[in-house]
Amino acid sequence: MKIILNIWRQKNPSSPGKLVRYVLPSVSEHMSFLEMLDVLNEDLMQKGDDPVTFEHDCREGICGSCGIMIDGVAHGPLPGTTVCQLHMRHFKDGDELVLEPWRAKAFPVLKDLMVDRSAFDRIIQAGGYISVNTGSAPDANAIPVPKPDAERAMDAAACIGCGACVAACPNASASLFTAAKVSHLGLLPQGQPERPQRVISMVNSMNAELFGSCTNIGECEAVCPKRIPIETIALMHRDYLKACWSFRPESTASQGAG
C-alpha cells in the first residue's frame, strides 16, 4: 500500500522545524507504524539523507518511549494503543498523514519527532515513591488490600509515562500522568503515610514544570494507550484539596521527653 507522510523535521531544540513530505510506495499492511518509519529511514540513509529521529524502545506497548502525533491524534487513530502497536492495516492505501512531535513548553523537541520528557521524571522525584525500610521481603498479604482498591491502583499504575495526555490536551496539562502516579500509591495502604505530602509535592512540581491546567475536557483519556480514566484526576483534585485543608505546620513546641 502507498502511504504519504508529512513529517516534522527539526535539527535541534533551537532551530525552527517544518513538515517534509515523503512518499512510501510499498508499505506492507503487516508492518507496525514504527517499522514503516524504519523502512523510510533505511531509504533515507542509503540516499545519504538524515534519518527521521523518533524515540522507541520495547516496541511492545509497555515502555512509553514511542509517542508521536499521527494526523492530530496522539498515538494515532486506534484507541488504547501506542504507536509501536499500531499496524498499517488500520490505514488505507493512499492515506496522507501528518506526523508531529508532542508539543508542550515542558517537552522541548530534541530532534524531529523526539521530545525531552524529563519533566515527568522530576514530577516523580517530587513524590512518586513510598519510603520503606529495606530488608528481607515482607510476607505476601501481610497487609490486607481490598480487591477493588488493588484493581484501581493497578489501573492507575498502568501509566507508562508516554506523555500522550500532555500532547493531546489543548492546555498541555500533565494532570492525567500526575494523577495516575499520585493515585496508584494513594490507593494502597503502603502509600498512606506520605499521601498528603505526595499529592502536594507532585502537583506543585507539575505546576513548576509549566504544564497547563486541567479543563476537564477528556482528550487525555481518549488517547491514553492504557485507557486511564479522568476519574483519576478527580481523585488527585480531592486528595490535593484535602491535603491543603488539613495541612499542619510542624510543631515547634519542645516535647520534654528524654
Partner 1 sequence: MRVARLYDSTVGKKAVMAATGVLLFGFVITHLLGNLQFYLGPEALNAYGRNLRHLGALLWAARLGLLAAVLLHISAAVQLWRLNKQARPSHYEKLTAAGSSYASRTMMWSGPILALFIGYHLYHLTLGAHLLHDADGFPLVYQNVVAGFSDPLASGLYIVAMSFLGMHLMHGIWSMFQSIGWNHPKYTPLIKRIAVLTAALIVAGNISIPVAVLLFHQ
User: Residue 185: which of 194, 175, 176 has the closest Cα?
Assistant: 194
User: Given the rule CB under 8 A, which of 133-141, 153-161, 183-191, 230-238 is the region that contacts partner 1?
Assistant: 230-238
* Cβ closest to partner 1, residue 15 vs residue 28: 15
With CB under 8 A as the contact rule, the residue among 41, 53, 171, 190 that binds partner 1 is 171
User: Given the rule CB under 8 A, which of 31-39, 48-56, 135-143, 207-215 is the region that contacts partner 1?
Assistant: 207-215
Taking residue 160's Cβ as centre, other Cβ atoms within 10 Å add up to 21
φ, ψ dihedrals at 24, nearest 5°: -105, 105
Distance CA 71, CA 217 (A): 20
If one asks whether residue 11 binds partner 1 (CB under 8 A), the answer comes out as no
With CB under 8 A as the contact rule, the residue among 41, 53, 190, 204 that binds partner 1 is 204
* Cβ closest to partner 1, residue 28 vs residue 213: 213
Distance CA 109, CA 104 (A): 9
Rounded (5°) CA angle 235-118-8: 105
* Cβ closest to partner 1, residue 27 vs residue 174: 174
Nearby residues of 217 by Cβ (< 8 Å), 6 or more positions away: 169, 170
Q: What is the binding site for partner 1 (CB under 8 A)?
A: 6, 8, 19, 69, 71-74, 79, 98, 100, 103-106, 168, 170-173, 203-204, 206-207, 210-219, 221-223, 229-231, 233-241, 244-245, 247
